[in-house]
Copies of this chain bind each other. A is one copy, B any other.
Amino acid sequence: MAQPPDSSKPGNDRITLTEVAGHAGVSRSTVSLVLRGSPLVAAETRERVQAAMAALGYIYNRGAATLRAARTQTIGLLVCELNNPFYAELTAGVDDVLDAEGFVAFIANTAEQPERQERFLQRMREHNVDGVILCPAAGTPYDLLERLDRWRLPCVQSLRFLSDRGRDYAGVDYQAGVETVVDHLVSLGHSRIAFVGGMLDHSAYAARHAGFIAAMRRHGLADDLVLRCPLTRRSGAEVADDLLHRPQAPTAALCYNDVVALGLMLGLEALGLRAGRDLAVTGFDDVPEAALSRPALTTVATSARQIGQEAARLLLRRIADPQGPPERIILPSRLVVRQSCGAPTHSTHHRDLS
């Protein structure tokens, strides 16, 4: 209460490069070279400088460096729904790669709101990030990519894209994944298959829908049973009744993702029905709970963490070489057959655990 708050002036005691230089008996410039690992400086000098840095507790001031140099070793990561475990896993993958390269990421949850996304991008520019990884929010204006170009801000799109022509992208082959599911359902004897879920328009929806259409046509089946609904358990459950009480009720429901599929299964149960017996149900993503539900959910596994890693690698490459050829990395997905599609399985005791 009586102590003067003078001593708390922020940052007044920070060691600078000049002080390190004084302590080591060399010039500022030499210390700077050591800092950046230049081969120009003699081994003996380097050691002396490093000792001085350690002795004084020197902390590199990246902000000061940024003012003169071009790079900040910093990127922005914009995801559309951070609370979705899938994106959390992706973020962890990004972090894996960045950590190894000495980069750090600003995180932002755009919550599917383009204006929030826009605000965050401006903020990233103010902070001078070297680039961004972007999962574009639904409704993102189409000129965003050109604006990023004009800003000279390297960008890797992930999971979704506004346009991937001539641009870096890391994602999953949604279309092939959905086609595999259709093929599997058809092989089990289904011909009336519904595509369920997905409300917002973006490339990830378009790709899955295209996969559905393509596979159904390939098998000569009707491809017009498409029910759009929000990606929540609740709406998945609500769709059950609607689905079964139409003139030509489907015998299988291929859901946009696991969340909707799990909801649909609950909805069936509430009607006294059972997935896999009364209606084949499949999901997409292979979230942990998919293995856990009863019946366990047939779904498509996508490796979120790996996608994050690839996206980060692509961005670092793009930052290092802005002129290089664009790359698209499309990871395969994998069909995981469980009980919800009614396929014969061997034993309920051999469930996969995490």
Closest residue to A107 on the B side, CB-wise?
B107
B-binding segment of A26-34, A39-47, A58-66, A173-181: A58-66
Q: Are the C-beta atoms of B77 and A82 separated by less than 8 Å? A: no
Chain B residue contacts of A269, Cβ below 8 A = 348-349
Q: Are the C-beta atoms of B77 and A107 separated by less than 8 Å? A: yes
Q: How far is the CA of A127 from the CA of B77 in the complex (A)?
A: 17
Q: How far is the CA of A172 from the CA of B91 in the complex (A)?
A: 25
0/1 string, A97-109, CB within 8 A of B gives 1: 0010010111111
Q: How far is the CA of A100 from the CA of B47 in the complex (A)?
A: 46
Given known contacts A105-B106, A127-B63, A266-B351, is B5 in contact with A323 (CB within 8 Å)?
Answer: yes
Q: How far is the CA of A96 from the CA of B123 in the complex (A)?
A: 15
Which residues of chain A from 112 to 127 have a CB within 8 Å of any chain B CB? 116, 119-120, 122-127
Most chain B CB within 10 A, of A66, A77, A119, A269, is at A66
Q: How far is the CA of A72 from the CA of B61 in the complex (A)?
A: 12
Q: How far is the CA of A288 from the CA of B85 in the complex (A)?
A: 11
Chain B residue contacts of A96, Cβ below 8 A = 109
Residue A322 interfacial (CB < 8 Å): yes
B-binding segment of A134-142, A203-211, A232-240, A245-253: A232-240
Residue A161 interfacial (CB < 8 Å): no
Whole-angstrom distance from the CB of A320 to the nearest CB of chain B? 12
Residue A87 interfacial (CB < 8 Å): yes
Given known contacts A82-B91, A322-B8, is B107 in contact with A123 (CB within 8 Å)?
Answer: no
Residue A294 interfacial (CB < 8 Å): yes
Residue A286 interfacial (CB < 8 Å): no
Q: Are the C-beta atoms of B288 and A288 separated by less than 8 Å? A: no
**Could you say which of B63, B88, B106, B262 contacts A67, with CB atoms under 8 Å apart?**
B63
Q: Are the C-beta atoms of A8 and B323 separated by less than 8 Å? A: yes
0/1 string, A257-274, CB within 8 A of B gives 1: 000001100100110000
Given known contacts A11-B152, A108-B95, is B123 in contact with A102 (CB within 8 Å)?
Answer: yes
Q: Are the C-beta atoms of A62 and B127 separated by less than 8 Å? A: yes
Residue A191 interfacial (CB < 8 Å): no
Whole-angstrom distance from the CB of A229 to the nearest CB of chain B? 13
Residue A164 interfacial (CB < 8 Å): no
Residue A55 interfacial (CB < 8 Å): no
Q: Are the C-beta atoms of B107 and A74 separated by less than 8 Å? A: no
Residue A186 interfacial (CB < 8 Å): no
Chain B residue contacts of A85, Cβ below 8 A = 83, 85, 88
Given known contacts A294-B294, A353-B263, A354-B234, is B109 in contact with A92 (CB within 8 Å)?
Answer: yes
Whole-angstrom distance from the CB of A307 to the nearest CB of chain B? 13
Chain B residue contacts of A294, Cβ below 8 A = 293-294
Which residues of chain A from 295 to 354 have a CB within 8 Å of any chain B CB? 305, 322-323, 348-349, 351, 353-354
Chain B residue contacts of A223, Cβ below 8 A = none
Q: Are the C-beta atoms of A127 and B292 separated by less than 8 Å? A: no
Q: Are the C-beta atoms of A270 and B63 separated by less than 8 Å? A: no
Q: In the complex, given contacts A8-B152, A59-B125, A83-B89, what are 7 additional A-B residue pairs having Cβ atoms less than 8 angstroms apart?
A: A5-B323, A59-B126, A61-B128, A63-B67, A74-B127, A82-B88, A104-B127
